[in-house]
Chains A and B, each alone.
Chain A
Amino acid sequence: MIRVETQGAVRVVTLDRPAKRNALTVSMLASLADAMRVDVGVRAIVLLGAGSVFCSGFDLRERVAGDDLGALREQLRRLADVVSIMRTGAVPVVVGVQGAAVAGGCALLGGCDVVVAERTAKLGYPVLRLGISPAVTAPFLRAAVGDGACRAMLMDPSLISAERAERIGLVHELVDGSEQVVTRALAIGKDLASKPGVAVASTRRWLETLATCSDATRSRAMQASLDALDDETTRRLEEQVWQR
């Protein structure tokens, strides 16, 4: 459900579960982490979603027998791993967002350097109403959009328009139609891959240092999301997801 292709020096990674709006399972997140670890010869990564929606977030129907929230805990941990690998890797990551990037799907943007989005796309973290805290993504989101916009997005369980997302700095380029999303994301990936690799990797690492997303900060954020899971989360998932 994670497809990896190579186009010259560009690795194209596609979330490929369109029937479920590319909802992320534990195993998909594990494959995604592997796909983000680059080999020699890869100079840029382009992350895409198959179908009409980039990613609808975690697959909340995935459950471990005997532990209602076990799969969700594992999804949170693995999501944090994926984003960390994306940010600390040597090559730039471009993402193309069509339709929507929701919750865990929006959090993937935190690992990217360039975000291309369909003008009609919606983005956000509407998970507080499920009793889930999006804190895990806060260190990355605030680095992208600043504290004020980060707070407004995380505390408000709604989606924002791609135009607003561009205004606050979460999206960097708007295009019309989902085909253009793919075309532009690949073109930008190809362009970035053509630049001298050491310069790109060094600049990227330096920016990561300046972003003050320390390991300690990341683990505090992860822990906040894990600590927030309680009986109310189970009850809300039961009512709003599992019984539907």
Chain B
Amino acid sequence: MNDSALLTVDGAIATLTLNRPEQRNAMSVELLEGLHERVGELETATEVRVVVLTGAGRAFCAGMDLKQVIIDDGADWAGARLLESLARLTLRVRKLPMVVLAKVNGAAIGGGCGFSCVADVSVTHADAKLGFPEVDLGICPAVVAPWLVRKIGVGPARRVLLSGGLMSGAEAHTIGMVDHVADDRASFEALADSIAERLSKGGARALQATRGLLNDLDGSLDEGVLLRGAALSAEVLATAEAQASLRARLV
């Protein structure tokens, strides 16, 4: 079994943990495969009312595993596959019949930050670092852009994605990229637990009907746009400029 993603279920609350703490839970092909498997289990988990997405260790998710997206002559390039896998994963998470809480326990960067935007509700702490530094690295955050647009609106998303860089959890809360913020790491766990507990109290049919309608209204189920985003992101990632920038970063 692929243990880079863990699923635990406690009554109505399921926790899906990105489990590559030494790599700050960077999304590798294996991690994404693990997440797909665990989300597959959730699709039929009829007793679960809330799924908590979180990261093992101090980070939530550092984004794409850059080592796997550098083109190495002679080896099979994982970049395009990885991006498509992420695109399909976000859609599967959004389609789940239960409410999804992103428990952003620490750094949520690039694809990791985008993954948190797929959740219905998110919580972090004031000192966490979040954001989309893709353009700084010469790459294009096309897969996560639709999710950020739905989360904060087109105007703010334009500024965030084109400015690159990172922001604090407190700033992310101010612009609506996260919904709840704890003052510090010490009070974060209790806040996240109380939100998960509250979200788990919803009636199954009411949850599903509400989420289904919201997905319908905001175009969440548009697979085409996500796959086009994955293709665009892969195209930019394969350019000499992006590859040189990533190599320089990893040396």
Contacts and interface: CB of A to CB of B under 8 A. Distances in A.
Interface of A: 127-135, 138-139, 142, 146-152, 154-158, 167-168, 217, 220-221, 224-225, 227-228, 230, 232-233, 236
B99 A155 contact: yes
Contact of A224 (B150, B204, B209): B209
B202 A135 contact: no
B192 to A, nearest CB: 13
Interface of B: 99, 117, 120-122, 150-153, 174, 176, 179, 195, 198-199, 201-214, 216-218
Contacts of B152: 146, 148
B-side binding surface: helix, strand, loop or mixed?
A: helix
Contact of A128 (B179, B202, B214): B202
A168 B206 contact: no
8 contacts: A128-B201, A129-B202, A130-B206, A156-B199, A220-B216, A224-B213, A233-B205, A233-B206
A234 to B, nearest CB: 11
A148 B150 contact: yes
B150 to A, nearest CB: 5
Contacts, number: 118
B108 to A, nearest CB: 15
B201 A220 contact: no
Contacts of A236: 203
A154 B217 contact: no
A224 B205 CA distance: 10
B207 A128 contact: yes
B176 A149 contact: yes
B242 to A, nearest CB: 29
Nearest to A230: B205
A167 B205 CA distance: 31
A139, A142, A147, A158: residue with the most chain B Cβ atoms closer than 10 Å = A147
A209 B122 CA distance: 32
A157 B120 contact: no
B217 A217 contact: yes
B213 A221 contact: yes
A14 B179 CA distance: 33
Given A147-B151, A147-B218, A157 B213 contact: no
A155 B211 contact: yes
Given A128-B203, A167-B176, A224-B210, 14 more contacts: A127-B206, A138-B214, A147-B150, A147-B151, A147-B153, A148-B117, A151-B218, A156-B179, A158-B198, A217-B217, A224-B213, A228-B203, A233-B203, A233-B206
Given A147-B151, A156-B198, A133 B206 contact: yes
Given A142-B218, A156-B195, A228 B205 contact: yes
A225 B211 CA distance: 11
A224 B120 contact: no
Contacts of A220: 213, 216
Nearest to A212: B217
A72 to B, nearest CB: 12
Contacts of A228: 203, 205-206, 208-210
B205 A131 contact: yes
